[in-house]
Structure 1
Amino acid sequence: MEIELQRYYQVKKYLEKIGYPSESILFEYNISSAKRIDIVVKKENGVFIAIEVKEPQSVNFETITDIEYHPLTRKIQRESQEVAAEYFILTNGINYLWMKTGYGGRPEKIDEVPFSEFTVIKHTENEFISIILSHIYEFLRNFPITGNHLYDLSLVLFTKLKKETDENFDIREIFQSLFSQSQIIQQYTRKYSSQDILNQAIERLDTINLSTNKLIVLEYIDNLFLRNSNELSVPRWLSDFMMKILTPLPNDNIIDLFARNGSITSSVYLNNNEKVTSYYTNQNDYYWIKIHQLLFLGKEVEIIFEPLLLNGRTDFLIENLANDILIIPPFNQKISGAYESELFHYGIKDSTCIFIETALKAVREDGKVIVIVSDSFLSSSPLLKAREYFLRESFIESIISLPQDTFKPYSLVKTSLVTFVKSREQINQQTFYAAIQESPKEYLSDSTKSEQLNKILINYKKFKINENFTKSKDGFVVEELDVENLHFSKYLFTDNIYDNNLSKGFIYIPLKNLAIDIFRGSALISDDINGEIPYIGPAAIRKMRIIKDSFSYTSKNITPKKVLKIDTHDILVNAIGPNRGKAAIVSQEFNNLAINRHIIGIKANQNLVIPEYLAIILNSKIVQEQFYDQSSGSVIPSLNLKSFEQLIIPIPNFDVQEKTVKEFNSITVEYNNTINKLAEIESKLNNAFNNLGKEEDKI
């Protein structure tokens, strides 16, 4: 390692002498898992120079006369082409042979290219620091310390911040800690020591000060986790929004129950609160939380490792100690040891419920628990007892519906932000409702910079001081909650707050009152090889279409004794996946077919609603938003029968229903004619292409 580093320093010194900044020079750059370039010079997001370094005795530059065909020059040319480098160099640390690909595609010798001859792109300070941090992360991917790239970067950034904030810090402390935890990787023969790699990484950061650029570093870390972590990452806008809803006093004791990489903790600091206790369940998060402390406090404070929290063990929390607790729990966590929980003994093993129960015990009277819940928590029958328990022990101050993609790509489950206030005083307690309709497109460390988030926060503040505001999706007040259904969409419609774009002749009626029956299909098993009995599954249901070519098939010997069959004018709704909620009407052609468990059928009460109209309105934006709100499942979102009962449907009189159906059918005929005409034109065009060159010569 020492000899190779000496040679690297020789090349680095040479490049710096002709103007290249040190942070752009990377040692051993990965092309693939098995190939590396000795040294590269990077600029922006690409490689501009690829460099092959040889031992002085292994190459005689005076004998390299056939540059176009020499194996060494061809090798570095191929590597440079793989990374789209403009120039490539062969060197022994003393001599430098500069080349580029010539017009004939072969290496061509050129004069030395100083940095000043490149088209220099000036970077903002934000871009400059982000590029350096990206270079460090890339370097650690090539030369891992522990094998976990994110963890390795946390080691480097923590070490750099400790050097900035503590002049007595000794880097050897890091390695003593790592060796004691057996975290240094041993699974392959290492060419370089971990300390060499860490020192190299720290040296590359010498040109910047992380502490004075904390917001830039914070943005880089947040974006890094969104791109590279397989675990749930909390968007910065959301962690800040949670703090602004919480509005703690400066000296309040706050608990971050699942600190993860420290994003919630740092939002506490950003909102001028320093008294936060962070609990974490994964050792890989340790240095990330410490980094946030050093960035915003300039010092370390105690954080608490509690892996048993994931099993429901919460007896370590002292009751009535905290003012506020923030919880973004892991979704679908299995609970096995919540022996201190009342809900657990009632048979409720939902992890979110257990964590909320624990938090309510840990906060003081009038203390707040703000938590992200899946929307199934708000209305599912199995969790009714839990909701009743929470409304005995507390009142719900706010429920804010979050966008579908809030935790994408980790999960597409629909979620809401709920604020509980610990209190047995249940008299005249109101609840603030709102919906964040779209995730902010830009990175925001201050959620008030988003117009829609700021509107909600302004309305929330007015709600807190009993000041009137215009009811809308950005905020309205509910006087009394129905514990069976706490969904935003239920109160949006029952309180007549939807965008005033519906005629006054519409009334909102629950779907269960419009249907004679709402039913799920049979447990049919697909037989792709010998299946001869067609049935309708989710692949065949799209918006107002039943696609015959997408039917599934089963066999008689694996078909249940009782199979539910559909009738003409039944409405079929896709209950799973990205097309959940899409509805279609059953025509005479599909009468008496079977449907599987992923299809929900509806028999309309034709005294109240025309079936075709009901199918159309189920596909409308108004109802589709409710379907998304009612979805459950963190991996594959789905709908259940209970969620259909909660739907609120806007219904006009029969004249308007008939007119809507007639207009829709007219548009459908026009659409189908257009599709058929397009298919005809495409066929003619393909025939014209196929017949080119086959025509008889015409004179």
Structure 2
Amino acid sequence: MLQESEFNLIQSAISYLRDDLGFTIIDSEIPFKMGQVTSRADIVVYKTENNLEIPYILVEVKASKEIGKYAWVQAESYAKRLNAPYFAITNGSKWSWFKTGKIGESLEIDIDEIDFKGTNTETKRTIKNTKHFSDILNQMKDILYNEKLKTDEILYELIKILFVTIECEKDQNEEFFLIDDNVYQSHKIKDFYQKTIKKHPNLLDHRLPETFFQINLNDMTILKLISILSHYKLIDSNNNSVSSFHLPLNFENKRRSRGNYNIPQELSQFLLNFLSPNIDDSILDPASNTGTMLMEINKKCVSFASKRTQNIIREKISKNINGMEINPNLYWLTCMNLLIHGYDINGISILDIENVKPKHKYDKIYCFPPFGRLNSPHIFEDCHFKLRSFEEFFLVLSIKLLKKSGKMIIILPNSFLMSHSAKKVRNYLKEKMIFLSIVSLPPNSFLNTSIQTSVLVLEKKDDFSQQGPVFMANLNSKSILNDENSYDSILKDYLIFQDGNFEGNKISKHSFVVDGNLILENDIISPLHYVPEYLEMKDQLNHLKKKIKLDNVAEKIATGTRIKSKDNPSGSSIPLIKTKNIIDGKIIEKDLIFINKDTPRINLWPPGTLLISRIGKKNKIISLPSNFPEYAIDSNLIGVKLNDSILPEYVAYFLNSKYGRMQLDSIKINGIIPHLSISHLKKVIIPFHPIEVQQKILDQKDNNGNKIFSEEVE
């Protein structure tokens, strides 16, 4: 990132080059390779030769009073790399000009010695890369911000203008850029937009807002936007309209309505490498959002073709690739995004969630559904359970729309993989599908949300299908979160899995193989529940001669109470334990607050009750001391009242050991806020002994219980 002072200097330098010296073709922050390192030129001035833009003057900007020798060496090396015949160095107040020569031999010159021919020629410029494209859109966005439009309105109107400009360029129609009468020109542009969208029946759907059927800007704003785009060629020599650049449809509004999150381009490419589309496949994206996934599928299919056959393949796959979207606004964005990038939209439709009747079947389905609760539960005809969330609805819909032996890839929140409420849908999934792969994604995979998700690759069962081994990977691991190549490393591991070139059940530090039948037998399908170390430890625990589930020795297991400030008046006598009161396995009494014993909904817990943190950081499991006759606990804690057959201190000692911790970690539901589920907590296994043996273990315990319980388990 540039410091603010240097950024301002660059903008000031560009103004000087353009306004005072008359240069017209100027770019800033231009990336280029210097060996293995990517460097950036502050400013590059171009000249035009044979309709090509050629680097002419490199300008290095330094935010310092004195310009040192290093700046000269750096600017010279950059100019040599870009083949710029001249370079300049400035700190804003002083400019030094040089003619590029051999390394160390460039000569300082006067600006009058520079030939200006070709540097002030107006020409249609080529868009160089995605950043260049984004800069152009940001210029247009700034104009629309001044019109005091909402963020979504800015997005919609910008797309309309971009669409009109591209359609004009396709038709080689320059008339909108040549009319002198501003009002007449803007009216022509509005009319052109309305005529053009009539060529695409999808854009005339009656469920779309009326504002989408016309351009809703004043005349001067339209002309300002068109004038920016008029300097650029939006269609390349292969007749592709900015198709290699990702259109930043979201701007600041990263999160879309109904729990929709825009899928990053690198993640969509990862999904396509995991489940590669074929040219002859019939393909569906049932939750297309803004069309990013559909475009990536199109590009992936076209990449298989030679240059000679690309147009034929493009036409063929346009008939095979289909998309649905439940949100009319996002449906419109999908259609416009595809059209702007030169793709067909005949296969795109609005999904009516209330009247969905699956008809067509598909070979492959790529689904990134919105997350969150449905307004009202949905029931499919042959399903005997209610679908209460969008992710459940889209999972079942995708299963129904898939052909036998067809494959699908879907992103689901981790809470679905293990929550009790989704158990019936998970059972339906196991009944209809074969698990091929499950990969837990990093927590910040999507902008403006830390919701934790997993990718499932599935195959629909036919009459002869059998569940085989399943590839699993954990990108949640701290050691891989900051690795920019984490997707690539998992793909390499997946290829090793497919080739069978591995021994045992572990492929790498983050990837492993699981017996698919084990997933079918268990309630949980999260990768965290099947890491080899946990399965090995769980197997050891299951082979203990004396063991018991926590639920069998507990009289009560429940979460605490959500306490309001009005519930702790003066004179209250019941201490309220919060997670912040538990530090290093002890309750810090000086920060305790007290509540009224008659508080509604309150559960009171006696000394000896185990306290387990339900959410947030790992705290040691402790038992309540006998300092008070009874306690209340807040809703971030789980209380476990044990029966007389087991000592609370013994259970806490075991749960704090590696055997207890690994069990607790494996059942943690990784939603936006990871939390423990009581239904899974009840199944935690504990070594069970007579009271006198438990006490003997406590008497000789080490710091964390690992040594004693390791000896017992092993």
Q: Tell me the equivalent position of 1:302.
A: 346
Gaps of 5+ in 1: 1-10, 25-42, 46-84, 87-110, 118-122, 666-699
Q: Distance in 2 between matches of 1:356 and 1:511?
A: 33
State yes or no: 1:477 paired with 2:514.
yes
What amino acid is aligned across from residue 344 of structure 2 in structure 1? Answer: E
Instruction: After TM superposition, give the deviation of residue 340 of structure 1 in Å.
Output: 3.9
Instruction: After TM superposition, give the deviation of residue 259 of structure 1 in Å.
Output: 0.7
Q: Distance in 1 between matches of 2:634 and 2:686?
A: 25
**In the alignment, is the contact (CA less than 8 A) between 1:16 and 1:22 conserved in 2?**
no
SS at the partner of 1:300? coil
Q: How does 1:389-408 map to 2 (within 5 A)?
A: 389-407=428-446
Instruction: After TM superposition, give the deviation of residue 252 of structure 1 in Å.
Output: 0.5
Instruction: After TM superposition, give the deviation of residue 20 of structure 1 in Å.
Output: 5.9
Match of 1:314 among 323, 344, 356: 356
**In the alignment, is the contact (CA less than 8 A) between 1:20 and 1:115 conserved in 2?**
no
Deviations 1:275-325 (A, max 9, x none): 3212123344356434653576x343325342533xx5422x324x21111
Q: Distance in 1 between matches of 2:399 and 2:427?
A: 14
Q: Tell me the equivalent position of 1:174.
A: 193
For the aligned residues, what is the CA RMSD? Answer: 5.2
Q: How does 1:11-410 map to 2 (within 5 A)?
A: 15=19, 17-19=21-23, 21=25, 127-143=131-147, 148=152, 149-167=154-172, 171-172=189-190, 173-174=192-193, 182-183=210-211, 192-193=219-220, 195-203=222-230, 205=232, 217-218=245-246, 221=248, 224=251, 231-272=260-301, 274=317, 275-286=320-331, 288-290=333-335, 293=338, 298-306=342-350, 308-309=352-353, 312-315=354-357, 317-319=358-360, 321-336=361-376, 338=378, 340-343=380-383, 346-407=385-446, 409-410=448-449
Q: Tell me the equivalent position of 2:81.
A: none
State yes or no: 1:639 paired with 2:666.
no
Given the superposition, is the C-alpha separation of residues 191 and 259 from structure 1 closer, same or farther in structure 2, using an over 3 Å criterion? closer
**In the alignment, is the contact (CA less than 8 A) between 2:443 and 2:450 conserved in 1?**
no
What amino acid is aligned across from residue 289 of structure 1 in structure 2? Answer: T
What amino acid is aligned across from residue 155 of structure 1 in structure 2? Answer: K
Q: Distance in 1 between matches of 2:223 and 2:632?
A: 67
What amino acid is aligned across from residue 15 of structure 1 in structure 2? Answer: D
State yes or no: 1:579 paired with 2:608.
no
**In the alignment, is the contact (CA less than 8 A) between 1:334 and 1:350 conserved in 2?**
yes
Q: Distance in 2 between matches of 1:269 and 1:141?
A: 33
**In the alignment, is the contact (CA less than 8 A) between 1:369 and 1:420 conserved in 2?**
yes
Match of 2:529 among 478, 482, 490: 490
Q: Tell me the equivalent position of 2:657.
A: 617
What amino acid is aligned across from residue 376 of structure 2 in structure 1? Answer: S
SS at the partner of 2:470? strand
**In the alignment, is the contact (CA less than 8 A) between 1:519 and 1:601 conserved in 2?**
yes
Q: Distance in 2 between matches of 1:510 and 1:395?
A: 33
What amino acid is aligned across from residue 471 of structure 1 in structure 2? Answer: K
**In the alignment, is the contact (CA less than 8 A) between 2:473 and 2:527 conserved in 1?**
yes
Instruction: After TM superposition, give the deviation of residue 256 of structure 1 in Å.
Output: 0.5
Instruction: After TM superposition, give the deviation of residue 545 of structure 1 in Å.
Output: 4.6
Q: Distance in 2 between matches of 1:228 and 1:336?
A: 22
Given the superposition, is the C-alpha separation of residues 141 and 346 from structure 1 closer, same or farther in structure 2, using an over 3 Å criterion? same
SS at the partner of 2:424? helix
Q: Tell me the equivalent position of 1:101.
A: none
Would you say how many aligned residue pairs link Structure 1 and Structure 2?
Answer: 551
Q: How does 1:439-450 map to 2 (within 5 A)?
A: 450=488
State yes or no: 1:663 paired with 2:703.
yes
Deviations 1:526-585 (A, max 9, x none): 33561523212344346635344554543244345x7331423x4312224x33776444
Deviations 1:401-451 (A, max 9, x none): 223333353352x3222233222547641241412324987898xx88632
Q: Distance in 2 between matches of 1:353 and 1:493?
A: 29
Instruction: After TM superposition, give the deviation of residue 522 of structure 1 in Å.
Output: 4.8
Instruction: After TM superposition, give the deviation of residue 265 of structure 1 in Å.
Output: 1.3
Given the superposition, is the C-alpha separation of residues 386 and 511 from structure 1 closer, same or farther in structure 2, using an over 3 Å criterion? same
SS at the partner of 1:250? coil
What amino acid is aligned across from residue 154 of structure 1 in structure 2? Answer: I
TM-score by length of 2: 0.62
SS at the partner of 1:136? helix
Q: Distance in 2 between matches of 1:360 and 1:458?
A: 25
**In the alignment, is the contact (CA less than 8 A) between 1:243 and 1:268 conserved in 2?**
yes
Given the superposition, is the C-alpha separation of residues 461 and 352 from structure 1 closer, same or farther in structure 2, using an over 3 Å criterion? same
Q: Distance in 2 between matches of 1:417 and 1:624?
A: 23
What amino acid is aligned across from residue 374 of structure 2 in structure 1? Answer: K
Q: Distance in 1 between matches of 2:443 and 2:614?
A: 16
Instruction: After TM superposition, give the deviation of residue 359 of structure 1 in Å.
Output: 1.8
Given the superposition, is the C-alpha separation of residues 441 and 380 from structure 1 closer, same or farther in structure 2, using an over 3 Å criterion? closer
Q: Distance in 1 between matches of 2:688 and 2:529?
A: 16
Q: Tell me the equivalent position of 2:38.
A: none
Q: Distance in 2 between matches of 1:191 and 1:599?
A: 57
Instruction: After TM superposition, give the deviation of residue 607 of structure 1 in Å.
Output: 7.8
Instruction: After TM superposition, give the deviation of residue 597 of structure 1 in Å.
Output: 3.8
Instruction: After TM superposition, give the deviation of residue 474 of structure 1 in Å.
Output: 0.5
Q: How does 1:396-435 map to 2 (within 5 A)?
A: 396-407=435-446, 409-412=448-451, 414-425=452-463, 428-435=466-473
**In the alignment, is the contact (CA less than 8 A) between 1:356 and 1:369 conserved in 2?**
no
| Larger mean Cα displacement after TM superposition, 258-267 or 423-432 | 423-432
What amino acid is aligned across from residue 530 of structure 2 in structure 1? Answer: Y
Given the superposition, is the C-alpha separation of residues 208 and 314 from structure 1 closer, same or farther in structure 2, using an over 3 Å criterion? closer
**In the alignment, is the contact (CA less than 8 A) between 1:258 and 1:280 conserved in 2?**
yes
SS at the partner of 2:281? coil
